[in-house]
Each structure stands twice: as C-alpha cells, then as structure tokens.
Amino acid sequence: MATPKTTRELLEGELTSLKEVRKPFEQDWEEIGRLCSPARVEITARPGANSGRVRRRANTATQDSEARKAVRTLVNGMATGLTSASRPWFKLTTRDADLREFQPVKEWLAIVESSIYGFFASTNYYDSTKVQYADLGPMGLGAVVTVEHREYGAVYHHCPVGTYWLGLDDGLRLNTFVREVSPTVDQLMRWVNGNKALLSAMTVQAYDKGDYHTRVDCVHVIERNEDISGKRRSPKIAKPWRSVRWEIGQNDKAILLSEGGFDSQPVNVPRWETVGDQVYCDTAPGFEALPDMRELQLAARRASRVLDNMVKPALQAAAGMSRAQISLDPGTINYVDNLSVQNGGIRPILNLDPRTIEAVRQERERIAQQVNILFYADLFFAITQMDGVQPRNEQELFFRNEEKLTQLGPVVDRVNIEKLEVDVERAFTILKNRGQLPPIPPELESKPLEIEFISVLAQAQKQTSSLAIERAARFVGYLIGAFPEAGIKFDAEQAIDEFALSAGVTPTIIRSDELVKSMKADMERQAQAQTVANAMPAAAQGAQAAKLLSETEVDDQGTSALQRILGQ
C-alpha cells in the first residue's frame, strides 16, 4: 500500500503544473521589465534553500527613459483615478431600496465606510496599491497579500511579478496563489516561535552563528479551503481560506512552517485583461508597447551615434602622419610634416547632412508618442491635472476622453472586482473581528452588503446615467413653460435619488423618503393653518356685518336687512 502524500507533497505537485502555465509569459516579462520597469520582475531559478538570489539586476538595457515616464504617468493616473487617498472612492450600500432610504441604516453604513477609510490610511495600503499598479500596467497583473498585524492592523505585502503563480476556479476567479518568499533567519524564527525543529539544519546553523539577516527561501500557498465537492481541503482549518508555508531547504516534507487560515480572501491579483479561461494577461499596455519600446531604445542609440558623428566625427589622415601627435581640441596648433590637402590632410570620413539629426529626433518623438498612447498617458494626465473633483470636471473628462474611457471600462471593472472589492471586504472583516465596528442594525442582519465604487474613473464610466437625468430635467423644465401639466409626469424626488446614487453623493445629505413624506405632511398642515389664519379677519368682519344687518329693520313689520337679503 502506497504511503499517503504529505500536504507539502500534494501542494508541490500542484505548483509544478502552475509553473508550466506561467512559463510562456516569463520571457516577455523579463524584457518588459528591462525596458520600462527594471526593478519590477524577479524571475530566477531557485536551486534550493539559501540561494542568495539577487533581487534587482543593474539597469543597463535602457538608452531612453520615455517608457519609464509613461509607466509613471499610468501609475499616478490609476492611483488618482481609482483609489485616491484624498477623496472617497467607494461606498457601502444594499440591494434593498427601502433599506437604502432608512436613516439608521444610512448612518451605520456611513460610520463603517469612515472606519474602513481610516483603516486604509493608517496602514501601508495606498503605498502598496501604487506599486501594484506599476506592475499591472506593464505586466498585466499585480499581487498584494494582506496580513493582519497585531500592532498596525494590517500589512500589505507587494509581491513582484515572477515570484508567484496563480490558479483559477471554474468561475475564473482566483482560488490558488503560490508565492516564493525569502524571510531573514530572524524573521523565520519568529514565524515558528523559536521552534528550531521546524527549520532546516542550514537555517539553524545560521541562527546559532548569529547570521540573523541571511535570507531563507520558502514557499507560501494561499488557497480556497475547499475541493471540487465543496468539502474542506484541510478539515482542521475551519476558515474559507487556507495558508500553508514551508522551507524549501527542509528535506523532511512532513514538516511545515505553519498551517492556518483566513476569514476572508487575503490576496488580490487584478489582471488588466484576459481572454477566455486565460490565467495571465498578454494584452496589457506593456505587451502592446513592447515593439515600440524596443524601437525606442534603437532610436535613442541611433540619435546618439548621429550626434557623436556630427560633433566628433571619424577622421582620415595621410599615411605619413601615423606617428604625428595631433590634438583636436579647439584653439590648438599642430605642426606636422608633409601635411597638405593634396596628400589627404585631416578631414572627416563622412560628411553628414545636419538635417539628419532632425529626422532622427522626429522619428524618436513619433515612437515615444506611440508608447505614451499605448500607456494611456494623455488620458491619465487629464485625470491627474484636473482641478478639483466636482461633477463639472468629471463631465468634462467624460466628454473629452469618452472613447478612451470606454476602452478603459473593462480594466476599471476588473480592478474593482479582483482588487478593490477584496480589499474592502478584507478590511471590514479585520475591523469586525477586532470589535472596531458598531453593531449592525437589525434590519441589515440578513441582508448582504454591496460595494459601489465612486472614484473619478468609475464616475466617468457612469457619467452617461447622470447626464441623461440632467437632460431629462432640462427638457421637462422647458416643457412646463408651455404645458404646465407636463411637470406631473416627472418625479423630481426620485430623480434626485437616482442622480445622487449615480454621482456618488454622500448619503447623509439626501433625506430619506420617509423623512421627506413627513416633512411634506408638516408643510401641508402649516399651509392649511395659515389659510385659516388668513381667513379669520374676513370671517370676523363678516360676522360683525351679519350682526349689524340682523339688527337693522327695513319695514314696519320688523323685517331685518339680513332677512331681506336672505329672502325670508
């Protein structure tokens, strides 16, 4: 009977197949990294523990920095347009329209939102997100692992491209994430709480020698804790996500550094775009701009060569001058025997047309412009340089860049789903487990919460909805001038709700339907009371006149004037 495989052996088998899926992308990643993001890719062979891999190679491949500037513009644009630290970019809501208008629910959601924003601001969330965008644009994906921290709340660990592998479930969502990590000996000892029995002999020896900063190669697997049938992969882990770590140099494959779990998805890996069931992306700006980035480096080398030939050209001289000491510095005088124009003298071998420099420069600018277009630099400049965040600016952004925003729509949606939803849910779970959120209202206990994104880019994508409401309101206002009854057709209160929802207006400044109904009833009662009050003087005067008429006789029979008026 065969010996059952250990947890590590089973996971190593999965990792082997994951590596085969990733391999076709690695060469392109390395080249893209050299041309526009030299410090972003870490694809290295790992022979075993303590390999001492170099985390960064020297940047000797680039002659032109235009691609790097394009990446920087894209990163800043995405950070400002999707997850700005200075303005709201998400809000919590519920599918139930009535609950959305219920004031206690609105207030609770607003408090939770504020808590999550504060949580993000108190951690390294925005820094890690910006670095993640720097991977996403050029390489097509970026990964961050969120680890709860007893002191800081959470630490967001950015994972360089090339240090992890991905697996998807049948819904094409992330269900397996395997990364290579290299903690120091001191950090590794903290992982295992000083239990040397879990470490390899080489690591223990380094610790005993005091080499605390030596790095040790390890593997960290994060996966959904369920198999195809829905059963837990690890019955002893009662959480939806499982975490397993082991040291590569540990020969005993039954020994793990740790095995635990997470209450919510701890890793997010947004991808720029995928085709079918493709795991990795090969249509990101870095891939599309790769030919142009190669050409850009060649154009830079050509321009340098042309300029060198103009400023310091290759010379030819008479054979008899081979032993002469010649200085080409300005103002020097050279005394040479047999120097004459007839026997050759000293002159350039090539006489370049000065217009060549301009032609090369124009070609370089054309290629650089193409690189900037492929990285959406012009669009993201429009976002980062936009004054304020008023709806007027977002409308202008939409009108001027409607076509490009449409192209970015799928990317924005994918980042919202594969990254930002995961981040908000993870922060919510951590705060809830720490008891830092107010009790949930009874009305929401069985209702799922939804995350709505209200960033600049998300708003620009939804701008068509709010603009349609504005156009309808203006049209109805125009009709009312000629046809006053047309106003009956337009529900102004619902239009306000829909516009505020589309524009991402803070819910606390929009009154609920119940409160508006109550206020309208109060206004009607006040109007009725005022009408009665206004009628009181006239009624009093009428009563006094009636009394006077009733007391005035108009004939000998005692008929009063009031009776005569009433026909009595």
Structure token digits, residue 370: 């193409």
Helices then strands, counting H and E runs in the chain, come out as 19, 12
**Where would I find the H helices in 416-512?**
421-433, 456-461, 463-482, 492-503
**Phi, psi for 221 (deg, rounded to 5):** -110, 125
Residue 234 half-sphere exposure toward CB, CA atoms < 13 A:
22
The domains of the chain are located at 315-349, 513-566
Residue 52 has pLDDT above 50, yes or no: no
**pLDDT surpassing 50 at residue 50:** no
Nearest residue to 91 via CA among 353, 480, 352, 462: 462
At 428, is the pLDDT very low, low, confident or very high (cuts 50, 70, 90)? very high
Instruction: Give the model confidence (pLDDT) of 73-131 as tens digits.
Output: 999 989 988 999 988 999 998 888 778 778 888 889 999 999 999 999 999 999 999 99
**Mean pLDDT, residues 402-407:** 64
Question: Residue 243 in contact with residue 261, Cβ under 8 Å?
Answer: yes
**Nearest CA to 286 among 62, 3, 35?**
35
Reported confidence tier of residue 70, pLDDT bands at 50, 70, 90: very high
Render pLDDT for 494-503 as a digit per residue (tens, 0 to 9). 777 777 766 6
Q: What is the pLDDT of residue 384?
A: 55
Q: What do you get for the CA distance between the two ends of the chain, in Å?
A: 122
214-249 per-position pLDDT tens digit:
999 999 999 999 876 667 777 778 899 999 999 999
The H or E element containing residue 309 is helix 290-311
160 φ, ψ (degrees, to nearest 5): -60, 150
Report for 205-209, 298-302, 351-355: range of highest mean pLDDT: 205-209
What residues have CB less than 8 Å from 430, skipping those under 6 apart? Answer: 119, 148, 153, 154
As a whole number, mean pLDDT of residues 18-39 equals 90
For 310-359, the pLDDT digits (tens) are 777 777 777 666 677 777 777 777 676 655 544 556 777 677 777 888 88
Q: Distance from CA of residue 113 to its chain's centroid?
A: 17
Structure tokens given for 546? 């009636």
